Each structure stands twice: as C-alpha cells, then as structure tokens.
C-alpha cells in the first residue's frame, strides 16, 4: 500500500466542500505548482495508463511529489499536498516512455489511497486561496521582486526577462510566489514545502529565505569564476613575458640558470642506470617544471630540493651476498662474547638471507635484554660479517607518523621521514639498522604511529615503502632491521606478532671479567691516551669492582667505573707523576671511593629458620636469606618484605605442605594452631614476586616448627606445588653465579633445570656441587640437621596429649575442701 506523507504545516480552512475520487500521478523529478506548466517523462506502465485514461476522458487528476531515495518496483510514498492538473500535450519519448506537459490548476489535499491498479486512485479535495490579502504582504512581495532582479542580473543561467514576467502577476500574490518557486533552481524538498504553505505569510517568508540562499550561492560562484579568470590571465601574461625574455637571451647568446640546472639533472638521470622507471618518470616531470620556474620563486627552491632528495637516494645500490658462513661465525665469535645458542640463532637467519640473495621475509629480529648486555655489539658484529654499513636509529620520543614517513610536499617546511634520511646518509639500500629505544617509542600508544614503523621494518611489507615526501615507493626489503628493547613487557602490542624475540641473559661475574680484559679495558685505554703496558688491573680487582661498585645485569656501570680509573690515571700521566700503574684491591678505594654495595655472604654457622634462597633481578642473580620464626598465637602466617601476590600464594602452599608432613618432620600437629609463623624477606624496600622461593620457604617453615637448624653451605631455588613436587624456574645461570660469588658451592635445583648447567662457565661447574630435587622431602633430608624421618611416632603424640590433659585438670582443681563441697552441692 502506498504511504501518504502528511504535511507538517497547518492547511488552510478554505477548501471545497466536496471530496472526490481522482487519479493520482506520482512526480519523482519535479514539483508542479498551480498556474505553471511542467513537462515530465513518464515510463512506468501504471502512470502511462493513467495519462492515457485522463487524455481520452479529459479528466483531471492529482499530481503529487513522490519522495524516493532509489528507483524501486514498488510505489514510493507521496506527499499529502499536490496539485489538481490536466494534460496539455502528450508525445512519444525514448524507450517507449511518454513526454507529457502538465498544467497545474489548484492545490489539492489527498486524504486516502483507494487502489493502485491499474493506476493509483484516491480521494482528495481542492484547496482554494484566501480571498483577502493582508497589508503586510506587499513589503514581502516587493522584497521578492528585488531579490529576483539581483539574482537574474548576476547569474546568466536565469533569463533577464524573468523579473518583468513576474511583475505581471503583482495583483495575485499567490500566483507570483508559485511562479518564483517554479522558476528558480530550489531543491525539490524546498519546493514541496512552498507548495504546502497555503498561507501567504508563511509562503513568502520561506520564499525569501530560499532566494537569500540562492543569492549567496550565485555570489560565491561569481567570485570563484572572477578569481580563476584573473589567475589564468596572470599566468598567461607571465608565460608570455617569460617567452619574450627567453628569446631575448637566446639571441644574445646567454643561457638561463633554470635551463642549465635542468640540463644538468637530465644528464644525471641519463647516466644513472640504477634508477627505477617510476623514479625516472617522476624526475623528468619535476625537471620540466623546474625549467619553467624562475630561480627567484619559492616554488623553484622547493622543486630543486625535492629533486636533490630524489636523486641522492641509493635506488638499487646493494652489495653482493658473497660472504661465507665460516667467516661470519669467526667474526661473531671475535667481536661478541655471549651464549653459543644465541650466535647459532643469528647464524641461521644469516644463512637464509644468503640463500635468498639478501632477502629475508621472516619476522624482524628483536633483541630483549638489560642495558649493557651486548645488543648493539652483536648487531655491529653482524654488519661487519656481512660487509654492510651499520646504522643506529633511536625511535624514542617519536609520536607522529610524519617523523617516520615524512610530510607531504605541499606543507611548509616539508621533509622526508627518518628512514629516507638514514638511507641518504648511508648511501646504500641494504645496511644493517639497529632500531633502539623501542620501549620509549610512541608513549601515547597511537596505533597509526606503530603501524607506520611496522610498515618500514616488517620484511613482509616493506618492499614498497612509501615516504610521503618522496612520493615514490622505495624497496626496504634488503635492509637488515634489528630492534632492541629492555624487556618483553615494554614492547608495543602491535609489534609482538611481527617480531622474533631473542632474549639476552645478563652477564655473570666471570663473563664480565673476560669481556673487560678482552674488549672494555683496551678500548678505554686507547680512548684516554694510555698504553696497555702502563696500566695493570688484575682479575680480583675487577671482581671487587663488580661486587662492590655495580649492581647490574649488563656492563654499562662496570664500564663507567673503569672509565673513572682511566681518567684519574690520565690526569696523573699528564702531570707526569707516574709512568706505570697497578690497580689492586687496596688501591681501588683511592680511585673509586667507598664501596657502594655490600654483597651478601653465606652464614657462618647453621641456624634455625634461616635459609639461603636464590633470586633473579634485573641486575642479575642475587642471594637472598629468607628468615622465619614462630611465636605463640593462633596459627596465622605473617609475611613481610614487599611481597607480591604470587609469592604470598607460594608461601601459603609451602605452609600447607609442611603441615601435611608434620608426622615425618616430628612436629606436633597442634603446634600449627598454637603458634604463628613469621616469614621475612630482606631488602623490604624492593618489591618481590614470583614462585621460585617455594622450596626455600618450605625449608624455613619446617626448620622453625621442628626446631632443627638449616645447613649454611647450600643455596636453593624452585617452585613447590601443593603436593610437594618441585617445578623448574628461570634465570638459573644468574642464580648459580650469585651463589658462587657469595662463597656457596652447593646448590639445590629442580630436576628439570639440569639442562641449564651447560650454559655455565667451566670454573663454576667444576667447583659447584649440584643437588637436583624432584620433591621437597628430598630437601628436608638433605638440608635439615639431625633429621630422622618418621621419628615422631603415635606413642609420642599420645604421651603429649595425656600430658596436656593432665595439665588442664590441674589448672581447674578446687583450692579447698569447702570449695569442693560447695561445688558438689551445686551439681546436685
């Protein structure tokens, strides 16, 4: 059923008394007004049938604007207010359609739709115009005539005679308003609103508003046309003058500066065989523009700068992948001191690159490790092994896409991004690039900035990297990108699936000493103008610097301390006080001052409730003495030492397990209800978390409750389950090194961590005894002194219960016979 769109305006009360049935013609391309003719093209079968019927029977019908967003097979909704019309002329149109000229008679209001077959028929009544006209209509009528005259004078699409034609209807304000509405290019919706405005006051108000908007449009278009015409004339005049100047200089035998520069650039393009076709095409377009510009214009400088950038980039300049894997392995082993497994992983990536001719579509390498753990040294060694330039780029603080991909040339001060500037400086399309400070990149976490950097460094997407300033894709697929970050948690979320993470473990003391003697000390001596034969720093001194003046997983602070020593030696050498220097443990304080850190040492004797645990920190391994004691209470567990939630749960699990093994440990089960246990972790200002202290806490609780001392010559680590199983933990290399550094040469480890021993230095493996445990019960027997399993029998438990009950009876015994008699009488 066809819907009727009701009028938003109140219809006039002056209507015809009779309501009749009329054919209804939906108009989709125009709005018909009374007293106006409108030619429309009719193609729908039902509308063609309506026209034929009305022409043959000379019938009137209602023409109403039908609002339809798209042309559909169903009838669109029609507006309530239309016009009674008749057919003036009918012709055959293209495609079997009809070209019909309609004449509007008067407004009509449609009440209902009766049927739609064979064409639409409904009931409607005519709307007559008011016979009286208010006096305030005349000023509005004059304003309409004046506004129409202004528009027709400015806009040539309107006939200049339109104003004179409208003045012929001054005696009928309603007809004049309808003719203005039909003559101007208002929107169909606006024309429908004018048709629905039966009252003259409202109709003229709306008409004036529409004419004012049309006047603004005409004025704007006229200004645009005048400005465009003026600019075209100026360009034509400038071109004419320039051609005259060119002809004058040509006849005088002089060359133009811009022509010289254009000729030079064309010669450069012709000689550069490595340029891609799209770069050559873009360069030629810009050179042609440059030859037509004046050297004094700002556009000349901008175009010249762009061409300099375009020609200076290393398009296709790559070196051959002619290295051998044996040479690469030798250089990596010489320039970098670190785990063999890490070097093997790098070798595998480089072998793929060699086989594919310098392309590796795998994920980008990301080196994760504390500062000073050798990330930059490894990447530098890779660059030397590949015979490629090495570049370091810091992306810390970058928060805009333009910093990476540049700005468009239309901007003031436009420039290329960081990647294109790097390529121009290095002069090669296949350098080894280390992206540093990724953890400080895009602190606002704008995903578009993250994706812009990924577009540059992701080997699967960067074969056509587009810089906004250059505007021509550059192939970055042969650039060996390596990212570095301090910790895995600081990686932006979008980077995680695109990167291959390689974790760098912290250096232990022995490794730091080797690196210092092999790399750091020779470099620093050369940097400070010293000779190796003049300065002698023995290994014990280096170990003391590591233990008492640094606390880190890397080598930055360690290198800075050695640098302080070198500066003081350089001062003494410059003052010619000495010629040779021996730095030992006694003279170290004179160079570095009082020790900053006091390392943990093993306890001198076994104690009850004190065990040596092993912890991993960002500065490496650390020995941590966990303390415990019991006191009268209600069986609660008290923990101190800035512990995290995971560690608290681990303590609770250890307590439950020890309580379940009270019979084996010789502990009275009632003691767990009568005594509180306090577990303390030292260095309370430092937050601690993780499950690796589980076995140590188990041992401390067992020692406190059974009152047996714990061996002071053993350290331990491992996670404990509620059933007493010992699970593997991480950071074994650093933890074992911390025990060795503290003078503890026996370490209890989870059985599944036995494979981690191979990464330790030979010296530590040779001197350290490893105890591999699968259950906590093994640790009780190995670490608790005077421990004999199953010695706490049922007889002893019953004896203790009997003693407790007797003590309770003695406590409630009456003090005198009189009191006893009184008590017996009360019972009776």
Radius of gyration of the chain (CA): 48
Among 176, 178, 173, smallest CA distance to 130 is for: 173
**DSSP letter for each residue of 332-361:** HHHH--S-HHHHHHHHHHHHHHHHTTS---
Q: Diameter of the chain by CA atoms?
A: 149
CA dihedral 342, 346, 348, 353 (to 10 degrees): 170
337/507 Cα distance (integer angstroms)? 10
For 131, list phi and psi in degrees, rounded to 5. -80, -25
Q: Per the residue annotation, which of 706, 733, 735, 737 is the catalytic one?
A: 735
Helices 325-335 and 340-355: crossing angle in degrees, nearest 10, is 150
Cα 312 from chain centroid (whole Å): 32
744/612 Cα distance (integer angstroms)? 9
Q: Tokens representing 173?
A: 């304000």
452/472 Cα distance (integer angstroms)? 16
β 81-92/637-640 pair status:
unpaired
**DSSP letter for each residue of 730-745:** S-HHHHHHHHHHTT--
Among 788, 799, 749, 755, smallest CA distance to 769 is for: 749
Q: Tokens representing 351?
A: 């072998």
Alpha-carbon torsion 532, 537, 543, 545, what sign?
negative
Distance separating the N- and C-terminal Cα atoms of the chain: 101
Cα 501 from chain centroid (whole Å): 18
Helices 694-706 and 645-660: crossing angle in degrees, nearest 10, is 40
824/371 Cα distance (integer angstroms)? 83
Give Cα separations from 755 to 136, 620, 717, 749, 772 (angstroms): 102, 20, 15, 11, 11
Give the number of other Cβ atoms within 10 Å of residue 500's Cβ. Answer: 12
Q: Per the residue annotation, which of 484, 692, 703, 706 is the catalytic one?
A: 692
Residue 8 annotated as catalytic: no
Ramachandran sector of residue 199 (left: φ over 0; alpha: ψ -120 to 50; beta: rest): beta
Buried-exposed string 737-759: b where 16+ CB fall within 10 A, e elsewhere:
bbbbbbebebbbbbbebeebbee
Give the number of other Cβ atoms within 10 Å of residue 152's Cβ. Answer: 21
- Answer whether 86's CB lies under 8 Å from 36's CB: no
- Answer whether 478's CB lies under 8 Å from 318's CB: yes
- Answer whether 99's CB lies under 8 Å from 166's CB: no
692/786 Cα distance (integer angstroms)? 26
Q: Which stretch of DSSP H or E encloses residue 98?
A: strand 98-115
415/826 Cα distance (integer angstroms)? 105
- Answer whether 726's CB lies under 8 Å from 775's CB: yes
- Answer whether 175's CB lies under 8 Å from 34's CB: yes
Q: Tokens representing 624?
A: 């941590």
Cα 73 from chain centroid (whole Å): 49
Residue 463 annotated as catalytic: no
Which ranges in 496-555 belong to alpha helices (H)? 509-515, 521-527, 539-549
Just list the catalytic residues: 692, 735
């Amino acid at each position: 059923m066809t819907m009727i769109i009701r009028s938003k305006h109140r219809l006039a009360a002056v209507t015809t008394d009779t309501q009749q049935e009329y054919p209804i013609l939906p108009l989709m391309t125009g709005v018909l007004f009374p007293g106006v003719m409108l030619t429309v093209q009719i193609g729908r079968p039902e509308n063609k049938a309506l026209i034929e019927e009305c022409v043959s029977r000379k019938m009137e019908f209602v023409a109403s604007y039908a609002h339809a967003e798209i042309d559909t097979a169903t009838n669109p909704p029609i507006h309530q207010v239309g016009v009674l019309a008749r057919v003036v002329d009918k012709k055959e149109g293209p495609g079997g359609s009809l070209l019909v000229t309609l004449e509007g008679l008067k407004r009509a209001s449609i009440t209902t739709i009766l049927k739609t077959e064979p064409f639409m028929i409904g009931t409607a009544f005519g709307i007559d115009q008011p016979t009286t006209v208010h006096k305030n209509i005349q000023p509005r009528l004059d304003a309409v005539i004046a506004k129409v005259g202004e528009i027709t004078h400015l806009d040539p699409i309107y006939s200049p005679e339109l104003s004179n034609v409208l003045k012929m209807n001054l005696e009928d304000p309603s007809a004049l308003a309808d003719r203005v509405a039909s003559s101007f290019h208002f929107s169909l919706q606006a024309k429908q609103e004018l048709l629905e405005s039966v009252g003259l006051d409202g109709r003229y108000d709306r008409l004036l508003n529409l004419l004012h908007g049309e006047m603004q449009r005409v004025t704007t278009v006229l200004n645009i046309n005048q400005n465009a015409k003026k600019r075209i004339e100026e360009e034509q005049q400038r071109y004419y003058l320039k051609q005259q100047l060119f002809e004058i200089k040509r006849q005088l035998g002089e060359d133009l500066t811009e022509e010289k520069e254009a000729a030079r650039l064309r010669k450069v393009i012709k000689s550069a065989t490595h340029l891609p076709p799209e770069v050559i095409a873009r360069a030629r377009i810009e050179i042609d523009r440059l030859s037509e510009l004046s050297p004094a214009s700002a556009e000349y400088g901008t175009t010249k700068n762009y061409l300099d950038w375009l020609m200076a980039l290393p398009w296709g300049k790559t070196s051959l992948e002619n290295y051998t894997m044996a040479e690469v392995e030798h250089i990596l082993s010489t320039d970098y001191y670190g785990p063999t497994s890490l070097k093997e992983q790098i070798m595998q990536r480089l072998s793929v690159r060699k086989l594919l001719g310098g392309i590796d579509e795998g994920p980008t390498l990301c080196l994760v490790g504390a500062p000073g753990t050798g990330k930059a040294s490894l990447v530098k060694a890779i660059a030397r092994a590949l015979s490629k330039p090495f570049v370091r780029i810091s992306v810390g603080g970058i928060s805009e896409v333009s910093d990476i991909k540049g700005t468009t040339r239309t901007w003031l001060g436009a420039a290329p991004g960081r990647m294109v500037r790097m390529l121009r400086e290095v002069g090669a399309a296949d350098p080894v690039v280390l992206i540093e400070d990724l953890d400080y990149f895009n602190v606002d976490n704008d995903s578009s900035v993250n994706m812009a950097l990924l577009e540059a460094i992701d080997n699967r997407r960067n074969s056509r990297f587009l810089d906004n300033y250059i505007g021509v894709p550059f192939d970055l697929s042969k650039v060996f990108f390596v990212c570095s970050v301090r910790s895995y948690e600081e990686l932006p979320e979008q980077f995680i699936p695109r990167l291959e993470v390689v974790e760098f473990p912290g250096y232990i003391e022995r490794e730091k000493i080797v690196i210092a003697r092999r790399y750091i000390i020779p470099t620093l001596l050369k940097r400070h103008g010293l000779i190796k034969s003049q300065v002698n720093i023995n290994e014990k001194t280096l170990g003391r610097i590591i233990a008492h003046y640094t606390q880190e997983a890397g080598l930055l602070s360690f290198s800075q301390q050695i640098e302080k020593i070198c500066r003081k030696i350089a001062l003494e050498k410059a003052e010619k006080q000495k010629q040779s220097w021996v730095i030992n443990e006694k003279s170290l304080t004179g160079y570095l001052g009082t020790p900053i850190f006091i390392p943990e040492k093993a306890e001198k004797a076994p104690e009850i409730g004190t065990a040596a645990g092993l912890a991993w920190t960002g500065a490496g391994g650390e020995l941590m003495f966990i303390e415990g004691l019991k006191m009268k209470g209600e069986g609660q567990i008290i923990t101190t030492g800035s512990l995290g939630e995971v560690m608290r749960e681990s303590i609770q699990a250890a307590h439950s397990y020890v309580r379940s093994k009270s019979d084996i440990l010789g502990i009275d089960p009632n003691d767990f209800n009568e005594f509180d246990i306090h577990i303390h972790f030292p260095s309370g200002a430092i937050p601690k978390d993780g499950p690796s202290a589980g076995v140590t806490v188990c041992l401390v609780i067992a020692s406190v409750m059974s009152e047996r001392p714990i061996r002071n010559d053993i350290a331990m680590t491992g996670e404990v389950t509620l059933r007493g199983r010992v699970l593997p933990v991480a950071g074994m290399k650093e933890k074992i090194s911390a025990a060795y550094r503290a003078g503890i040469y026996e370490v209890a480890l989870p059985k599944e961590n036995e494979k981690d021993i191979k990464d330790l230095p030979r010296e530590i493996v040779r001197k350290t005894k490893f105890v591999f445990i699968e259950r906590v019960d093994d640790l009780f027997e190995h670490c608790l002194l005077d421990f004999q399993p199953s010695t706490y029998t049922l007889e002893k438990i019953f004896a203790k219960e009997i003693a407790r009950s007797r003590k309770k009876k003695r406590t409630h015994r009456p003090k005198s016979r009189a009191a006893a008699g009184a008590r017996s009488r009360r019972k009776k």
